[in-house]
Structures are given as C-alpha cells and as structure tokens.
C-alpha cells in the first residue's frame, strides 16, 4: 500500500515542478515584455535634471533652458533640482546613485571631471556617470583691477614679479575652473599668486570690484562683458583659440604669449551608468536638435557661449580628452584637494 502511495505521489511532484517551471517562465517572459513596453513608452513620467549649481547662475540658467527644450521635445516635464555644494560633488553623487532608468540626469561641468582627479576619496566613482550630450561651451576671460598698471599678460607678469605682496586671485574653490585657470597662469608666468575662495563667480566679481582681489578668470557673462566695456574691470586675455565677438580687441592667451593657459567653461548632460543606450541616444538627439535652432544659438551667443554639437560618441571623446589634459595639469602642478 505504501508503495502505491509513493508511485502516485511521484508523478504529482513532477507535474507540480513542471507547472512551477512553466509559471516561472511565464513570469519571466511577461517581465521582459513589460520592460520592453516601459522602454518604448519612455518617458512615462517627469524627468529630474540635477544641477550642482546655485539657482540664478550661468550654469543654472543654461540647465533651465535645456530643461525647457527637453520637455517640449519629449512631451514630459523636466524638473530642475538644484543641489549645490562640495564643489558639485553633492549633485553628482545624487545622480550617480540614482536608478539608471533615464529619469535622472546631471547638468555636468568641469568640476564633475576635476573632482575625481584631485580628490583621493569620493562618494562615487567617475565611471558611475556616463556622458550623454554636450550643451554649451564658453572660454575663460582673464580680468584684472584696472588700477593695476598692466594692459596685457606680459605687463601683468612684470607687475606681479615686482609686487612684493603678490597678487590675490579669486576662485570658487579648489579644483574649480577658475582655480585651474589661476594655477596655469601662476605656472606659465612664474609669478606668486594667493588664491582667495568665494562661493560663486558672482561673489568673485564683487570682490574684484571692491578691490579685495586683483584678478580672476571667469565665464564672460553679459555682466562681466559690460564691466569690461565700461572700464570697471580690465579684460586682458581670452583663454581660448578664438577671440570673443563682443570683446574683439582682447587677445587670446596664445596671442599674448601664453598658450598653456587654456580653460573652457562647458556644460553637458550625464546619466547614471547602466541607463539604456536607446534612452541616452534619444536625449542626445532631443538636446542637439534644440541647441541647433537659431533661437537657442542667438541666446547662447548673447552670453558669449556656443552650442556643443555632436552625438554621444563625440561628447564622450571630448570628456576623455579633457580628463587626460586636466589630469596632467593636476599632476604636474600638484593640485590636490584636502
């Protein structure tokens, strides 16, 4: 009798296992179909664009412009989330640890690259963020207190070497674009500089106007160009390959004899590693179409910036080249954040 029970139970167990396997296979297939459907419907909800900048600055303004363009192109809200602090680490960390589903993006800039080059400890790895698209670029503009008796970089070099107190150079923190520009200036000219840290480019500009510092290198914003044209500050050089259309008399650093001083303020979008490539390509395409429009080009030109055109591969190459260039500068000049 016992043998009979066993013989009846065995087929039952085999059937149960078969049904379980079929059920598991069905769930897996259904999950795959759901995932494909979800990807096809992306974006099905609002997208968050994290900016590591304070509200109201040039980087934040550009990020909001792009959010508007993306929203129109994708048919979904793109919400700007300001997370400034720690040299852009706070904002970048939030995106690096977000779900790689295309619903969280980072407005990245030089600081996003530089942090991993000058800091021994980071809350995320550089590889946790992947390039999506370039947005805009603008050269650094070197300006000084007009009371300094120097009308070009050679004269500034002579003045700095003769000043026993040295010159005070405004930056927005160790590893910032302005700090790297100052370090390149210091090394190329062989002059002493004392770096003074401020919270933003706006504060740095106010410090220059108040004569708390003697020079700085900043984005050539509308306000900065106006100050240069009015004579309240003196623009000495553009750290780029081309002169600025709105300040055509100001030479490039190469024309002034210091080609090593070259720094660009750029902004692009990055996403968490693992974000589907088709989603990244769609974001790239939407942004590129937007920044290629005449209206956006004119808007950028008014603030002395220009669109960064190219596909994802081109933006990735740009990031790789800048990483190597800035990494060498950080190593050669021993730039290290504490």
Q: What is the pLDDT of residues 102-159, one digit of tens each?
A: 999 999 999 899 999 999 899 999 999 999 999 999 999 999 999 999 999 999 999 9
The 3-state DSSP class for residue 298 equals: helix
* Residue 96 to residue 125: CA distance in whole angstroms: 8
Mean pLDDT, the chain, whole residue set: 88
Torsion angle in degrees (nearest 10) through CA of 217, 246, 298, 283: -20
Contact yes or no for 287/108 (Cβ under 8 A): no
- Choose between 18 and 151: higher pLDDT: 151
Task: Classify residue 46 by its DSSP letter.
Answer: P
Per-residue pLDDT at 224: 93
Query: What mean pLDDT do residues 302-319 have?
Result: 95
For the ranges 22-26, 125-129, 153-157, 214-218, the lowest mean pLDDT is seen at 22-26
Percent of the chain whose pLDDT exceeds 90: 74
pLDDT of residue 283: 98
Residue 15 reports pLDDT greater than 70? no
At 59-101, the pLDDT tens digits run 899 999 999 999 999 999 999 999 998 888 999 999 999 999 9
- 335 has pLDDT over 50: yes
**What pLDDT score was predicted for residue 107?**
98
The residue-averaged pLDDT of 275-293 equals 98
Q: Are strands 234-239 and 129-144 parallel, antiparallel or unpaired?
A: antiparallel
**So what's the pLDDT on residue 53?**
87
CA distance 330 to 183: 9
Average pLDDT of the residues in 27-48? 60
Looking at residues 163-177, what average pLDDT do you find? 88
Q: How far apart are CA 160 and CA 190, in angstroms?
A: 9
- pLDDT of residue 5 exceeding 50: no
Concatenate the DSSP letters of all residues of 11-45 into one string. Answer: HHHHHHHHHHHHHHHHHHHHHHHHHHHHHHT--SS
- What gap in Å lies between CA 303 and CA 280, rounded to an integer? 28
Q: How is residue 178 written in tokens?
A: 């302005």
Q: Which residue has the tokens 């109201």?
A: 56
Q: What percent of the chain has pLDDT over 70?
A: 88
- Residue 324: per-residue pLDDT: 95
Domains identified in the chain and CATH numbers = 47-137+265-332 (3.40.190.150), 139-239 (3.40.190.10)
Spatial CB neighbours of 263, under 8 Å, sequence gap ≥ 6: 110, 139, 140, 177, 180, 181, 184, 217, 239
Q: Are 193 and 166 in contact (CB under 8 A)?
A: yes
For 232-257, b/e burial (b = at least 16 CB within 10 A) is ebbbbbbbbeebbebbeebbbbbebe
Q: Are 184 and 190 in contact (CB under 8 A)?
A: no
Per-residue model confidence (pLDDT) at position 338: 60
As given in the structure block, the two tokens for residue 94 are 């939030």
Say what angle helices 110-118 and 312-332 make with each other, to 10 degrees.
Answer: 40
Residue 35 has pLDDT above 80, yes or no: no
């Amino acid at each position: 009798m016992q043998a009979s029970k066993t013989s009846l139970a065995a087929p039952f167990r085999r059937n149960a296992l078969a049904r379980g396997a079929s059920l598991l296979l069905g769930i897996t297939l259904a999950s795959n179909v759901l995932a494909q459907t979800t990807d096809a419907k992306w974006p099905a909800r609002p997208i968050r664009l994290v900016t590591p900048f304070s509200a109201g600055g040039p980087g934040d303004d550009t990020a909001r412009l792009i959010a508007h363009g993306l929203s129109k192109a994708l048919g979904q809200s793109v919400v700007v989330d300001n997370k400034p602090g720690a040299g852009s680490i706070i904002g970048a960390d939030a995106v690096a640890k977000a779900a790689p589903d295309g619903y969280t993006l980072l407005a990245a800039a030089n600081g996003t690259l530089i942090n991993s080059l000058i800091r021994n400890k980071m809350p995320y790895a550089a590889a946790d963020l992947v390039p999506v698209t370039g947005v805009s670029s603008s050269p650094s503009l070197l300006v000084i207190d007009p009371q300094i008796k120097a009308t070009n970089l050679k004269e500034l070099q002579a003045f700095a070497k003769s000043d026993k107190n040295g010159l005070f150079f405004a930056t927005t923190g160790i590893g910032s674009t302005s700090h790297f520009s100052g370090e390149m200036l210091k090394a190329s000219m062989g002059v002493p500089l004392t770096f003074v840290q401020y919270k933003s480019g706006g504060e740095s500009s106010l410090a220059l106007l108040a004569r708390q510092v003697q020079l700085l290198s900043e984005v050539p914003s509308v306000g900065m160009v106006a100050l240069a044209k009015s004579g309240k500050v003196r623009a000495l050089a553009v750290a780029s390959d081309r002169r600025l259309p709105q300040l055509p008399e100001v030479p490039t650093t190469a024309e002034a004899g210091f080609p090593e001083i070259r720094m660009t303020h750029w902004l692009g979008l990055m996403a968490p590693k693992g974000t589907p490539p088709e989603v990244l390509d769609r974001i790239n395409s939407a942004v590129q179409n937007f920044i290629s429009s005449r209206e956006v080009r004119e808007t950028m030109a008014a603030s002395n910036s220009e669109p960064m055109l190219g596909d994802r591969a081109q933006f990735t190459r740009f990031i790789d080249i800048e990483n190597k260039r800035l990494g060498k500068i950080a190593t050669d000049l021993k730039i290290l954040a504490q």
